[in-house]
Amino acid sequence: KPKGIPYSFSYAIKDDYVGADYGQAEKSNGELVQGTYYVALPDGRLQTVKYQADHVVGYVADVEYEGDAKHPPPYAPSVVYRPQYHAPAPLPYSTTEAPTEAPATVYPAEAEA
């Protein structure tokens, strides 16, 4: 395998407004790549990975964590809403019958003479 081109780079991002904190640094002599990267995890720990890679051994990483994991309490709504339905009041009881319309009596028309 032909020897690669030597290089090096690094960057770091720290944005307190959004809570981003991560970075990386890497260098290579053309045969061996060495580097490290880190990231602030959501649980409050800092994860750091130191690595090296070549065409013989491959990728080898050492992962370390700093700090203790802190988990927020589980979410629960602060207000409990009760149902707003109320059954209608019963109708008053009545002993009288409801009025009914009596059928009309129809008489045949008498013929006039």
User: How far, rounded to the nearest angstrom, does the alpha carbon of residue 59 sit from its chain's CA centroid?
Assistant: 34
Establish if 18 belongs to a structural domain: yes
Establish if 94 belongs to a structural domain: no
Indicate if the pLDDT at residue 1 is higher than 80: no
Q: Dump pLDDT digits (tens) for 23-61.
A: 999 999 999 999 999 999 999 999 999 999 999 999 999
The total domain count for the chain is 1
Residues 22 and 33: beta-carbon distance below 8 Å:
no
**Stretch 71-82: mean pLDDT:** 84
Indicate if the pLDDT at residue 64 is higher than 70: yes
Instruction: Look at residue 113 in the predicted model and tell me its pLDDT.
Output: 59
Instruction: Look at residue 77 in the predicted model and tell me its pLDDT.
Output: 80
Which structural domain range is residue 26 located in?
7-66
Residues 32 and 51: beta-carbon distance below 8 Å:
no
- Encoding tokens for residue 9? 């780079």
Establish if 39 belongs to a structural domain: yes
Distance CA 39, CA 47 (A): 5
